[in-house]
């Protein structure tokens, strides 16, 4: 990336989410047959910003960007890998968690977005196990504290070395006056089912828990002496590999770098573009449909590799959303548009549906699931405009259903010869892309009318115009060309005038109706509390715990319960 591309309009350094193993500074990835090892060996001098050192395998966003990249590559580039071993490359320490100096010095927005991204990365570890048969075993040697234990919690199985000093802990409350920001509390109770009173002791004990007690409290799965560690790890790897259905002899595809051009107010990819209107505080993401029909066979799909349209577009949308989240904090509203032939989009959906048993087709659909969840969890107002010439069909129709509001044009604009706006549903809209609450976006939309979802199955593959789309509840408003521009302008102006804090709270509440899951708890309940706690003087004030950590001085707390 050119130096000019690294700077934002305000002069700050742009955070880039694109990396590859040749550029890793903190992780070492190795593959031996059906077992991969991710070795955490953080470069102390490799922080994303100045002002702190990443000692004791502590991490910042840059460390997690590499981890997320490695996990993605293991799914696409190594289809034969059935087990991932998470290990430390440093003696006597597994991971000290999120770097305290980084947290103390970071802006509030960066802290919250950092926690959100690390949560999404931990969820990706769990999704690889649940959806793709790629299981994770975490081998804990030495201290495993805070975010380090939260990383371990994402694994299927935790092995703790029984050496008298190795321990697990969540010391954020007693040491820093904050909460474990990457789902630690929720995974302890909901995933590992630790008894509430024992969890209370654990989360208020600085030194953590070690040995047999860690097993008895369900904090880890087994403790093993150093002399028997290699034997135990190999046995567990064989056990978990035997549970996987990943292909043993398939050839992976290379996740080649995305083609992108980054300008001051634009991002241009092969199938997607972003235009930022700073005066209006909007970012318009335009997705483009395929420029060729789907391949004739799964072999041809594999041959296309990362250039296969559904995969390339998913990766581009993921990169664009992360870029807006971290680098364009003043954007109030993201507007989704599309260009292309809806039938061409449906043809690719039909190809993936017909070949969903193939490992690559499966991974592509799970990639879309994760990207669409990333959209759901983005703290911006989301609006989708379904206009003439758009291609919101099948998978891309999920962006209509994900929006806080959607508008669809009736007929055509005067002098516009593009085809009238149309929507189309595909089988993928009925469960392939669940939200954090475990429901499809259609099911979440029609919580009071589940029969409406079944009725919509009869519309699969048919063209739905604006008036029918409004009648079926698929869009918020259908407007004619007389009202279109004024209605959209008023909506965007109104949205930009509201309190961003109030909007974030409202949207996060409205987007996730229905059942509560471990994932929705992490992103709703936990994020809301942490968001608040990160702004309280008890944590970040001049006499707060985060700022005084390591100085030897005790924090001065405002003792009133609020």
Per-residue HEC secondary structure of 120-160 comes to: HHHHHHHHHHHHHCCEEEEEECCEEECHHHHHHHCCCEEEE
The token pair that represents 561 in the structure block: 């319960």
Contacts of 206 (CB under 8 A, 6+ apart): 169, 171, 174, 175
The token pair that represents 473 in the structure block: 């509840």
CA distances to 403, 431, 443 from 438, in Å: 18, 9, 10
The separation between CA 392 and the C-alpha centre of its own chain, rounded to angstroms, equals 23
Look up the CATH superfamily of 260-510. Answer: 2-enoyl-CoA Hydratase; Chain A, domain 1 (3.90.226.10)
Percentage of the chain lying above the pLDDT 70 cut: 98
- Let me know if 221 is exposed, middle or buried by CB neighbors in 10 A (0-12, 13-18, 19+): middle
- Please give the pLDDT value at position 6: 57
- Please give the pLDDT value at position 3: 36
The string over 506-529, giving b where at least 16 C-beta atoms fall within 10 Å of a residue's C-beta and e elsewhere, is ebbeebbeeeebbbbbbbbebbee
CA distances to 134, 255, 306, 426 from 351, in Å: 24, 21, 16, 11
- Please give the pLDDT value at position 8: 56
Q: How far apart are the first and last CA of the chain?
A: 47
The secondary element (H helix, E strand) that includes residue 259 is none
- In the CATH hierarchy, which fold is given to the domain comprising 17-241? 2-enoyl-CoA Hydratase; Chain A, domain 1 (3.90.226)
Tally the residues of the chain: 562
CB 340 within 8 A of CB 290: yes
Beta strand pairing call for 167-169 and 143-145: parallel
Centre a 10 Å sphere on the Cβ of residue 275 and count the other Cβ atoms it contains: 16
The string over 373-397, giving b where at least 16 C-beta atoms fall within 10 Å of a residue's C-beta and e elsewhere, is bbbbbbbbbbbbbbbbbbbbbbbbb
Q: How far apart are CA 388 and CA 341, in angstroms?
A: 11
- Please give the pLDDT value at position 416: 87
Nearest to 107 by CA among 49, 192, 68: 49
Which of the residues in the chain have pLDDT under 50?
Answer: 1-5
DSSP per-residue letters across 401-417: HHSSEEEEE-S--TT--
Q: Within the chain, which residue ranges are assigned CATH 3.90.226.10? A: 17-241, 260-510
DSSP per-residue letters across 29-85: EEEETTEEEEEE---TT--SSSS---GGG-B-HHHHHHHHHHHHHHHHT-TT--EEE
Q: How far apart are CA 167 and CA 282, in angstroms?
A: 47
Structure pTM? 0.96
Phi-psi region of 443 (alpha: psi -120 to 50; beta: other; left: phi over 0): alpha
The token pair that represents 111 in the structure block: 């802290």
CB 142 within 8 A of CB 122: no
Nearest to 322 by CA among 26, 11, 19, 9: 19
- Please give the pLDDT value at position 1: 43
DSSP reduced 3-state for 517? coil
Express each pLDDT in 495-553 by its tens digit. Answer: 999 999 999 989 988 998 899 999 999 988 877 888 888 889 999 999 999 999 989 99
Q: How far apart are CA 59 and CA 47, in angstroms?
A: 8
Nearest to 492 by CA among 482, 501, 503: 503
CA distances to 47, 128, 176, 224, 524 from 26, in Å: 10, 22, 25, 26, 30
The secondary element (H helix, E strand) that includes residue 20 is none
- Please give the pLDDT value at position 9: 54
- Please give the pLDDT value at position 181: 87
Task: For 173, list phi and psi in degrees, rounded to 5.
Answer: -65, -55
Express each pLDDT in 166-178 by its tens digit. Answer: 999 999 999 999 9
The token pair that represents 288 in the structure block: 């483009």
CB 98 within 8 A of CB 63: no
DSSP reduced 3-state for 6? helix
């Amino acid at each position: 990336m050119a130096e000019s591309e690294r700077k934002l309009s305000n002069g700050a350094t742009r955070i880039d989410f694109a990396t590859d193993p040749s550029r890793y500074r903190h992780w070492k990835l190795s593959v031996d047959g059906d077992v991969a090892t991710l070795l955490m060996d953080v470069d102390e001098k490799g922080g994303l910003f100045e002002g702190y050192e990443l000692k004791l395998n502590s991490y910042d966003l840059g460390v997690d960007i590499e981890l997320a990249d490695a996990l993605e590559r293991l799914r696409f580039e190594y289809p034969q890998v059935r087990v991932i071993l998470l290990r430390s490359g440093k003696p006597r320490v597994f991971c000290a968690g999120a770097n305290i100096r980084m947290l103390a010095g970071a802006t509030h927005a960066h802290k919250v977005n950092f926690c959100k991204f690390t949560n999404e990365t931990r969820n990706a570890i769990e999704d690889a196990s649940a959806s793709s048969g790629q299981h994770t075993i975490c081998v804990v040697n030495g201290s495993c504290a805070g975010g380090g234990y939260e990383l371990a919690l994402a694994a299927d199985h935790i092995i703790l070395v029984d050496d008298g000093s190795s321990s697990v802990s969540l010391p954020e409350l007693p040491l820093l006056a904050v909460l474990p920001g990457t789902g630690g509390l929720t995974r302890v109770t909901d995933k590992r089912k630790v008894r509430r009173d024992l969890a209370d002791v654990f989360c208020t004990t600085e030194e953590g828990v070690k040995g047999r007690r860690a097993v008895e409290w369900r904090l880890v799965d087994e403790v093993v002496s150093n002399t028997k560690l290699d034997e135990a790890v190999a046995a567990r790897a064989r056990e978990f590999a035997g549970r996987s259905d990943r292909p043993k002899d398939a050839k992976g595809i290379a996740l080649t770098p995305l083609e992108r051009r980054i300008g001051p107010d634009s991002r241009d990819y092969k199938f997607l573009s972003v235009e930022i209107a700073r005066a209006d505080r909007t970012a318009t993401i335009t997705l483009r449909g395929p420029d060729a029909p789907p391949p004739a066979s799964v072999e041809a799909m594999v041959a296309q590799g990362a250039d296969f349209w559904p995969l390339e577009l998913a990766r581009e949308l993921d990169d664009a959303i992360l870029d807006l989240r971290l680098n364009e904090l003043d954007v109030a509203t993201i507007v989704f548009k599309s260009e292309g032939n809806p039938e061409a989009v449906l043809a690719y959906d039909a190809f993936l549906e017909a070949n969903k048993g193939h490992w690559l087709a499966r991974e592509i659909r799970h990639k879309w699931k994760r990207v669409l969840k990333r959209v759901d969890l983005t703290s911006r107002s989301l609006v989708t405009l379904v206009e003439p010439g758009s291609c919101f069909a099948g998978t891309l129709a999920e962006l209509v259903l994900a929006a806080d509001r959607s508008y669809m044009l009736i007929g055509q604009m005067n002098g516009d010869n593009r085809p009238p706006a149309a929507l189309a549903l595909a089988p993928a809209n009925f469960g392939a892309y669940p939200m954090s609450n475990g429901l499809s976006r259609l099911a979440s939309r029609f919580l009071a009318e589940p029969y409406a979802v079944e009725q919509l199955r009869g519309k699969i593959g048919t063209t739905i115009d604006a008036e029918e789309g409004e009648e079926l509840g698929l869009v918020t408003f259908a407007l004619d060309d007389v009202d279109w521009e004024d209605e959209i302008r008023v909506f965007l102006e109104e949205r930009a005038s509201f309190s961003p804090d109030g909007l974030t709270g409202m949207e996060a509440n409205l987007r996730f109706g229905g059942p509560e899951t471990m994932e929705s708890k992490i992103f709703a309940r936990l994020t809301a509390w942490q968001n608040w706690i990160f702004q309280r003087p008890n944590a970040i004030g001049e006499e707060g715990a985060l700022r005084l950590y390591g100085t030897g001085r005790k924090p001065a707390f405002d003792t009133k319960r609020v």
